[in-house]
Structure 1
Amino acid sequence: MCRKEVEEPLKVVRHVLERLDLSLNETKTHIVDATQASFNFLGFTIQMSRGAKTGKPYPNVRPADKSLKSIKARLTELTGRNLTPIPLSDLVGSVNRSLRGWANYFHYRNSSAAMSKVRQHAEDRLRTHLMKRHKIRNRKAALCRFPRRDLYERYGLYKPAYGSGLELGACLGVKNIGKPCAGKSHARFDEGGQVKPCPLLYTITLPLLRL
């Protein structure tokens, strides 16, 4: 990410990659003015926004719609009616592993709205599964029998945090990149100085390397 021109940083990137016998994938590398449009990077949607109260610019970093859709589909798959024969503890354990991995990866910056949606979906899916398991057809009856509190305290559903992730910073440095539930370190983002009201141009390389 660059505050001003990107040609010099690109030259540095190409030089470093050449020394590693790698090359930049030029066809999938593009420049985005984040003050004018959003872009997706490592599962996040990023765009410069302005605070509702202060009007000051800040990097709005949130889970991308595709990432949100993916975890919802995964939770739906893990709580299907065809899985009622397996022990409930095993099913909840599988749900928790996927849910915890996703939440640990995406609990960053402006993620509270997405976390709330994922948490609600997980509750709905587990309650729907319990309805199938106990042959309950009435949704109101299910809400009474399987209240939200019981989903967590009795059945052990993992509860993603609601709050936003790390505090605001201008520079996002990515290190230790990994996929949730892939047995690797998750992505971590380091913070830099405060954002100034000037255009930010982001150089995106997805994928960055081409062997």
Structure 2
Amino acid sequence: MLLTGESDSLSSIGLVREARHLVDANVPMLCLVPRNQFDDVSALRQGANDDFIVKPSSFSELFSILRLFLSNFPGPMPPLEREWGGYRFMMSSNTVEFGGKRVQLRPDEFDLAVELFSNEGCTLGRDLLWTAVWAKAWDGKSRMLDTCVSVLRRALKLPANGWELRAVWGSGYRLDGSSSSQMPAMAPYWSPSPT
């Protein structure tokens, strides 16, 4: 189970307690908490399968942490690379390969690209994208999301490769490509052993 802490220690502690109440104690739990809550929340560790860490600052950092955490349990590991319609995303390095080129993206650009490609054909609202990439709500004024979208269009040469990343008025952004590029559903990384 992966949990993300709340905005204050008391709420995070309540979240962890509720999760432990609902889920079997043998289910491994990784809880990501803000640095200022770490001491308070990590005191709730109940077993060898639980771990608490400070929230990572990027998707690639989170991906590396999850791989390390999951290596302690039987079952398949998340892939180091993901591919969508000719674009190969190297999860551990914020790098994208396509058409014989390799492009290094900033962590926020990479995280945004993964979010958009993972949800191909769906309109994603600004608030959702802000929360997914920058872990905070959109303030309604910042143009950082629009700037990152522009960088992705250019750096990944989306239109030239048959992809359209467009703004959806009053909502957010939508990435469309060929339907054959959609990634198949992934199997769960961990499942409890039969009792």
Q: Same fold (TM over 0.5)?
A: no
Where on the TM-score scale, by shorter chain, does this alignment land: which range? under 0.3
Greater fraction strand = 2
Larger Rg: 1
TM-score, with structure 2 as normaliser? 0.26
TM-score, with structure 1 as normaliser? 0.24
Q: Identify which of structures 1 and 2 has the higher relative contact order when contacts are C-alpha pairs closer than 8 Å and 6+ apart.
A: 1
